Amino acid sequence: MKKSTRVYSIEEIILFENEEIIAINKPSGISSLAERDATRLSIHEMAVRYVPTAILCHRLDKFTSGVMLIAKHEAAYRNITLKFQKREVKKYYLTLIEGQHTLKDQLMDYGIYSQNGKVRLDNANGKRAITIFNTREIFRHYTLLEASPITGRMHQIRLHLLAAGMPVVGDKLYNGKDVFLSFFKRNYKFDSLHDERPLNDGFLLHAARIELALPGSETPAILEAPLSPGFNVVVKVLRKWDSG
């Protein structure tokens, strides 16, 4: 898997900031919390360098990019986490799956069981998890989906798509396959001394939009993040070589 060597700072990825919160566009490949033997700073470590009292309001998987909320102090953290608990926060993700799929407000309701950092689909013993899926763009061999999780279970979108037989592209943990340019371009040539690298860098899941009333306001704010560079490259390739 390709790895970026660029070191980010919170200042580089801020989407919105006020006295209460920071909203960032989290890059793919950076962990939310510190990892053992990590060679780069986590989002939390960067946040406390920027604001020493910063607290993550939620987490995104290491290879999930997009909107992430960081509270600047304890009161703002409590305010936002309470909104998450009451399901007053609307979340919208974009993801890519193999095949052509036309989904309109498709509700997936599968239980997810979590223990010691490992998760699995389990209706009998797991907690209820609900996601709504809508097709956003169809290519010849792939589909761009919007996913709106109603609950917030670990790996929820990825597991629900696995259950439906539509794993996220590049998600090796849950049977997702990589995208290669040679699949689309006839006579595509690459360095014969090395294996062709996939277009995707990890799995393709992006937190595109969050809607919530920010602390001190009753009016919902819409916080949006453009696609990560890697995800955007894949979409551009599909529009050029896999459309029609």
For the chain, the domain total comes to: 1
DSSP state of 168: B
Domain carrying residue 105? 10-241
Q: What is the CATH number of the domain that holds 228?
A: 3.30.2350.10
- Per-residue pLDDT at 244: 73
Q: Are 112 and 156 in contact (CB under 8 A)?
A: yes
Q: Is residue 77 part of a domain?
A: yes
Q: Kindly list the averaged pLDDT for each block of 10 residues, start to end, along the chain of length 244.
A: 60 95 95 85 96 97 96 96 94 98 97 91 95 98 98 96 97 96 81 80 96 86 96 96 88
- Per-residue pLDDT at 6: 65
Q: Is residue 2 part of a domain?
A: no
Catalytic annotation, residues:
61
- Per-residue pLDDT at 3: 44
| Angstrom distances, CA of residue 182 to CA of 63, 185, 190, 196 | 24, 5, 9, 8
CA dist., res. 153 & res. 112, Å (int): 7
Q: Is residue 53 part of a domain?
A: yes
Q: Is residue 4 part of a domain?
A: no
